[in-house]
Amino acid sequence: MRLFSRLFDRVMTWARHPRAPWYLGGVSFAESSFFPIPPDVMLAPMVLARPDRAWSLALLTTVTSVLGAVFGYLVGMWAIDLVMPVIDYFEYREAFNQAQEWFERFGFFAILAAAFSPIPYKMFTISAGVLSMALLPFVAASFIGRGLRFFLVAALVAWIGPTIERHLKRYMDILGWLFVLLIASYLLYVTL
């Protein structure tokens, strides 16, 4: 059953679409303030589809992500009471409390680390607003961390992507079904 290889082909077609950068910018903005899916999942296939645009796509992702971070900061500063039920609904309360603790201890470096890492960055952007971090260091840490992350993803995909794409396409269905089996095994293990 060639389900995953067809899905891969579809994703690559979407990644080449003329409006794809707009969607990437929207996801990057949203992820920094409220959306749960990181922009890397769009950036990587878009760079794979258009390696000649790797740097411009990384820059777009960085800039829109930082703008989203500023939005998250403003939400934390002015609307945290409205956002807390959403944080609780998505079970981010523990991550939010951890972000606040790290932010209080490390400030600029907590934002820098969160901007680079796969930690839910939105918790740090909102926490920075709640705790009234100075805006300029917040934006600087966001630009540095997000830029490092997205330019690294773009560079790696542009560098090794074309080689991997051939192998990935060949084994996509096997890898996809192995992933489904792994998830099903994990869910079975957790429920028993």
* Greater model confidence, 45 or 173: 45
Residue type, 44: A
Is the pLDDT assigned to residue 11 strictly greater than 80?
A: no
Cα separation values, 2 from 9, 25, 106, 173, 174, Å = 11, 31, 48, 6, 9
| pLDDT of the residue at 5 | 63
For the chain, the DSSP string reads: --HHHHHHHHHHHHHTSTTHHHHHHHHHHHHTTT-SS-THHHHHHHHHH-GGGHHHHHHHHHHHHHHHHHHHHHHHHH-HHHHHHHHHHTT-HHHHHHHHHHHHHHTHHHHHHHHHSSS-HHHHHHHHHHTT--HHHHHHHHHHHHHHHHHHHHHHHHHHHHHHHHHHHHHHHHHHHHHHHHHHHHHHHHH-
The residue-averaged pLDDT of 131-155 equals 94
| pLDDT of the residue at 155 | 94
pTM metric for this prediction: 0.78
Nearest Cα to Cα of residue 39 among 168, 157, 129: 157
| pLDDT of the residue at 124 | 86
Is the pLDDT assigned to residue 164 strictly greater than 90?
A: no
Token digits of residue 108:
């600029």
| pLDDT of the residue at 78 | 94
Nearest Cα to Cα of residue 84 among 66, 101, 67, 97: 97
pLDDT in tens, 29-70: 998 888 777 888 889 888 988 899 999 999 999 999 999 999
Cα–Cα distance for residue pair 68/70, rounded to 1 Å: 5
Token digits of residue 62:
């960085």
Which of 25-29, 44-48, 90-94 is predicted least confidently? 90-94
Residue 127, burial from CB neighbour count under 10 angstroms (0-12, 13-18, 19+) = buried
Enumerate residues 6+ apart whose C-beta is below 8 A from 19: none
| pLDDT of the residue at 3 | 65
